[in-house]
């Protein structure tokens, strides 16, 4: 019999286990729903800025039988806000989002704040991780980082940023160097606070948006910088999630030095595993189906993920806030059937 933490880390190392672990990391891959907030009495937007509420809401994900991990935060704005962008914290149905960029062009990168780990909302996340790590239940605590391209496009209008990847590469690289180093430091702080592994999600770094050349030049090296900086300090597993169709960059994705890769629901796992034969794969249940699909469809899709060879079962993206808890519970209950 495996604990949740043992099962996840056995999966990372491709050791024999009774069944795949079933997780939803947090961050971009948000696992919070309206029903969960009501059940735990820890609600958005307050839970984004209160470490006790953040920890309680995350703990509810496990205690209510949804997934086998804890994970914080529940949005992708923590790093960009700490570096100078303005955030609207939304409401119970809407996640925080950027409403004012801190930069007008990449060349202004040196005006960005460094993340203050004692005063910014990053402190809330770190304190929540510490609280979650102190529970004696052997549940893995997953820290979450926003990927470097996504942070850059939260500091600078994406329309400007993507143009500068072609027209002003030197400035764009300077911005990316600053951003990736700040993200890496946040990751190190999360590990020190008690995170057992880290997920980096970079939805703005899709192959469709960047194209293979820019993906190779601006996504791969800076994601790797974050991974390498964290791993230079701590022996910890790191998951990388990239959105979108992988076909255009499937020959490049393997250059990212992640321990596990998480993919969008549109990705054919059998094809991508041919490109990443030695890597751990995670995913990739369609979140629209989880919210609106039938219980039988969720069950059969979960079984297909397992039979297709995913080492870790997970939603392909953040859950819709309106997703019912009973629908979510089907994923874990179905996976548990494998071990019976």
What integer is the mean pLDDT of 78-96?
A: 97
Q: What is the pLDDT of residue 38?
A: 98
Q: What is the DSSP string of 303-328?
A: HHHHHHT-SEEEESSPPPTT--HHHH
261 bridge partner residues: 240, 281
Q: Looking at the predicted structure, is the pLDDT value of residue 297 above 90? A: yes
Q: Which of 168-172, 198-202, 278-282, 298-302 has the lowest mean pLDDT?
A: 278-282
Confidence of residue 44 (pLDDT cuts 50, 70, 90): very high
Residue 10 has pLDDT above 90, yes or no: yes
Burial group, residue 141, by CB count within 10 angstroms (0-12, 13-18, 19+): buried
pLDDT digits (tens, 9 = 90+) for 222-277: 999 999 999 999 999 999 998 888 888 888 999 999 999 998 888 887 777 878 88
Query: What's the pLDDT band for 185 if we cut at 50, 70, 90?
Result: very high
Q: Quick check: 230 and 238 in contact, CB under 8 A?
A: yes
Residues 318 and 321: their CA atoms lie apart, in Å, by: 9
Whether 338 has a pLDDT exceeding 90, the answer reads no
User: Cβ distance 329 to 65 under 8 Å?
Assistant: yes
Distance between CA atoms of 334 and 319, rounded to whole angstroms?
18
What is the C-alpha separation between 74 and 198, in angstroms, rounded?
Answer: 14
The CA distance from 127 to 150, in Å, is 24
Determine the pLDDT at residue 283.
83
Evaluated on CA atoms 158, 161, 165, 167, the torsion sign reads positive
Tokens of 239: 């998951």
Q: Which residue has the higher pLDDT, 268 or 37?
A: 37
23 compared with 248, residue with greater pLDDT: 23
102: its two tokens: 């801190």
Instruction: Write down the pLDDT at residue 289.
Output: 97
pLDDT in tens, 92-140: 999 999 999 999 999 999 999 999 999 999 999 999 999 999 998 899 9
Residue 53: per-residue pLDDT: 98
pLDDT band for position 147 (cuts 50, 70, 90): very high
Tokens for 99? 């409403």
Of 313, 312, 281, 317, which Cα lies nearest the Cα of 299? Answer: 313
| Cis peptide bond upstream of 306, omega within 30 | no
> 339 pLDDT band (50/70/90 cuts)?
confident
pLDDT at 116: 97
pLDDT attached to residue 1: 83
What's the mean per-residue pLDDT of the chain?
Answer: 95
| DSSP helix/strand/coil, 78 | helix
Q: Is 161 helix (H, G, I), strand (E, B) or coil?
A: helix
More confident residue, 187 or 119: 187
């Amino acid at each position: 019999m495996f604990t949740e933490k043992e099962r996840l880390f056995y999966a990372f190392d491709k050791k024999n286990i009774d069944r795949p672990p079933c997780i939803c990391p947090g961050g971009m891959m948000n696992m919070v729903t309206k029903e969960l907030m009501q059940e735990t009495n820890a609600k958005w937007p307050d839970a984004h800025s209160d470490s006790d509420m953040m920890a309680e809401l995350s703990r509810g994900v496990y205690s209510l039988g949804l997934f086998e991990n804890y994970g914080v935060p529940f949005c992708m704005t923590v790093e960009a806000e700490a570096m100078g962008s303005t955030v609207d914290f939304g409401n119970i149905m809407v996640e925080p989002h950027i409403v004012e960029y801190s930069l007008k062009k990449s060349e202004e990168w040196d005006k960005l704040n460094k993340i203050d780990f004692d005063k910014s909302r990053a402190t809330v996340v770190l304190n929540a991780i510490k609280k979650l790590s102190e529970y004696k239940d052997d549940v893995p605590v997953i820290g979450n980082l926003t990927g470097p391209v996504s942070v850059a496009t939260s500091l600078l209008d994406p329309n400007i940023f993507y143009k500068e990847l072609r027209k002003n590469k030197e400035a764009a690289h300077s911005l990316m160097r600053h951003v990736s180093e700040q993200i890496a430091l946040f990751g190190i702080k999360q590990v020190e606070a008690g995170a057992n592994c880290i997920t980096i999600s970079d939805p703005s770094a899709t192959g469709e948006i960047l194209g293979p050349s820019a993906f190779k030049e601006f996504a791969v090296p800076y994601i790797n910088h974050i991974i390498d900086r964290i791993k230079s300090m701590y022996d910890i597993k790191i998951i990388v999630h990239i959105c979108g169709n992988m076909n255009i960059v499937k020959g490049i994705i393997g250059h990212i030095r992640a321990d596990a890769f998480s993919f969008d629901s549109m990705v054919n796992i059998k094809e991508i595993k041919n490109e990443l034969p030695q890597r751990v794969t995670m995913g990739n249940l369609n979140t629209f189906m989880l919210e609106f699909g039938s219980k039988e469809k969720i069950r059969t899709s979960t079984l297909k993920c397992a039979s297709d060879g995913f080492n870790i079962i997970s939603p392909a993206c953040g859950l819709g806030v309106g997703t019912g808890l009973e629908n979510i519970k089907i994923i874990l209950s179905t996976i548990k059937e494998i071990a019976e």
